[in-house]
Amino acid sequence: MIRYRSTALLLLALVLIPAVASAADEVSFARDIAPLLNARCASCHLTGQEDGNLALHPGAAWASLVNVPSVESSLMRVKPGSPKESYLLLKLEGNHLDAGGTGRQMPLDGTPLDATALERIRSWIAGGAAK
Ligand code: HEC
């Protein structure tokens, strides 16, 4: 009986652990991206009237980015499903000039975003850039 119960618990754990892990891996704009943009970008990109013409505080960031044409290139700022064609990501990686863009790598005058942050933004875009 004891042996049977522990086998059942083990099977239950094997079913549940991957489900928990994949939920934790999924990137959420509100939880993972908006706070980062607010901390690193919104001081310059506040009202949308500044250079770059985009507002990146939490109330405006999604609408300023997703399916919005870049003012510096012929790309969308964020093209859902396509990180390589999303000017936002190129601008953060410093690959924007190769894509016909202009200006400097973002954040301007700051330390580039680390690999973890870039990977989060990449997988958010690849996964459809949901709000
Ligand atoms: C110190 C001020 C400053 C900070 C901080 C800053 N930016 Fe910028 N951003 C600018 C300026 C100025 C431009 C226009 C000139 C240029 O591209 O170099 C710009 C342009 C852009 C553009 C191009 C917009 C378009 O439509 O083509 C994007 C995208 C962008 N910034 C994203 C960001 C992100 C994301 C962050 C934070 C990780 C950030 N910026 C932080 C000043 C800043």
> Which atom, in ligand 1's list, is nearest to the CA of 91?
29
Q: Which atom of ligand 1 is nearest to the CA of 52?
A: 20
Tokens 């704009």 sit at which residue? 29
pLDDT at 15: 56
Q: What is the CA radius of gyration of the chain?
A: 19
Tell how far the Cα of 16 is from the centroid of ligand 1, in angstroms.
42
Specify the higher pLDDT residue, 1 or 83: 83
Among candidate residues 91, 97, 96, the one with its CA nearest the CA of residue 45: 91
This prediction has a pTM of 0.86
CA of 128 to the centre of ligand 1 (A): 23
Q: What is the pLDDT of residues 61-88, one digit of tens each?
A: 999 999 999 999 999 999 999 999 999 9
Closest alpha carbon to 107 in 126, 121, 93: 93
Indicate the domain borders of the chain: 27-126
Tell me if 129 sits within 8 A of 66, measured CB to CB. yes
